[in-house]
Chain A
Amino acid sequence: MIKAEQKPMEEILRSIDPYKKILLSGCGACVTVCHAGGEKEVLLLASALRMARKKIGKPLEILEATPSRQCEPEYAQELSELSEKVEAILSLACGVGVQTLVRFFPKMPVLPGVNTTFLGETLSHGIWEERCQACGNCILEKTGGICPISRCAKQLLNGPCGGSSKGKCEIKKEADCAWQLIYDRLSSLGQLYKLEEIIPAKRWGIESRDSGLRRIIREDLKI
């Protein structure tokens, strides 16, 4: 799922400084799961912001809402009525959710309250780690199901660099070397022969991230 982290309080306060009344919108999906922008975080942040603004003599009125999925039109539209009563929306959804609101409320400033960080997995309670960069051309079949695009700091496709030491990456000592993981995985699957193959240069510009705005059109689903 998409992972996010709440922005620092000072940055949020700076961005909403011009406004007296805002809508604070969370999202019931990914950011709820990673505790960055769900109903609970909306409640806590709203009260922290009110207190901070009261302290400096610039009271702030905050309406609160947490649509199930802020990135889906039908849920984003639930905010229409509330949005008419405020000067700006502070969104705790990911960057996608923010932009859905931007599309629906053309005259309303929409400000991000979180940094969208990565597509990741929950390792244990309170620990998440990146797993996918949505490159658009999955190669997990070749690499034992471990992604070197998201998990290798140099996105190497043909094995580890010289900085792989005792299973760890030299860039971040706490990070596992993706290619050590790939090696171990293919070894336990009895598929080490897969590593002999040269994986050619990735087609970043045609089938992938750098091809310009990506769009999926499913004719069978269009109404």
Chain B
Amino acid sequence: MKAGSNLEKILSKGLFAVTGELGPPKGNDVSVVKRKADLLRGYVDAVNVTDNQTAIVRMSSIATSSLLIQMGIEPVMQMTTRDRNRIAIQSDIFGATALGIKNMLCLTGDHHTFGNQVDSKNVHDLDSIQLIDCVRTMRDQGTLLGGEERIEGKIEIFIGAAENPFADPFEFRVVRLAKKVRAGVDFIQTQCIYDMKRFKEWMKMVRDRGLHEKVHILAGVTPLKSGGMARYMAKNVSGIIIPEEIIDRIVKAKKPAEEGIKLCVEQIQELKEIEGVHGVHIMAIEWEQMVSQITEMAGLLPRPKGE
């Protein structure tokens, strides 16, 4: 065991993992965290806590992750390299592990110009691959990045990263995954999948390189709430592909939200059958109340105990 988190135990037993996502409040209102936590508890094995996603200022992922632990939920603390240099990154890892956080997702982060502090100076001292390497060094060598300096204590972190099979250049995406594996990543959560054909093509490339045996891949899904949302995401969010027939299905449905859930469940069932997919990551953005239904309908309940 590298960290002994619930997520790590489930994945290393070869069980199909389920993770969820929680966006911290735009302030210090703990009741928001509690409300979302209550909607996710028991339905997922661990919950990603986003790190100022889309560069909107929110409660820090470390503090929110720590609150989740107190609420009986295992967090996957997301950390972007957008806002921290390597001093702050390593200091935050010390702090996070001291607070009992055992899973971490290494990200570059959305560009700051998408957020609400567009005049800020971005950092990008490391990229996500260098961040993985940094955490792995801290954990496995017990030293700081690039140095001989010994760490007081023991860093135990199950290291995750994201991958987007729908961004370009397509042929390079698997090379990038291979680099993440070489840097020391333990699990991957993908961008939300709608284009199943392209995802399967990507997974074949992953298997051809034998990467599915070196890293746990959790396939990302996001239930569509409405035809408007489907159209908006397809048109405006780079790195998301939604095929026309899916947009059509949601747009034409009598009850689009119900259809969105049904579609999400079908996707999970299809993803479960793909060799090398070891779990799903359900990103029900501001729709956390649907996670219980999705996991129930997809036959993912009850969640196993990692012990």
Contacts and interface: CB of A to CB of B under 8 A. Distances in A.
A118 B109 CA distance: 25
A38 interface: no
Nearest to B81: A154
Nearest to B182: A198
A198 B183 contact: yes
Contact of B168 (A155, A158, A165): A165
Contact of B179 (A153, A158, A161, A204): A158
Interface in B61-89: 82, 86
Interface string A43-86: 00000000000000000000000000000000000000000000
A164 B124 contact: no
Interface residues of A, number: 30
Of listed B109, B171, B238, residue having the most chain A CB within 10 A: B238
Interface stretch (A94-102, A129-137, A175-183, A213-221): A175-183
A201 B130 contact: yes
B145 A201 contact: yes
Contacts of A180: 168-169
A160 B134 contact: no
B126 interface: yes
Given A159-B179, A164-B167, A200-B130, A171 B124 contact: no
Contacts of B179: 158-159, 196, 198
B146 interface: yes
B258 interface: no
A156 interface: yes
Nearest to B165: A162
Contacts of B113: 171
Contacts of B82: 154
B247 to A, nearest CB: 17
B141 interface: no
B172 A160 contact: yes
A167 interface: yes
9 contacts: A153-B111, A155-B127, A158-B179, A159-B176, A162-B238, A170-B238, A196-B178, A201-B145, A202-B125
Top 6 A-B pairs, shortest CB-CB distance: A162-B164, A170-B238, A162-B239, A165-B238, A158-B129, A159-B176
Interface of B: 82, 86, 108-111, 113, 122, 124-130, 133-134, 145-146, 162, 164, 166-169, 171-172, 175-176, 178-179, 182-183, 191, 238-239
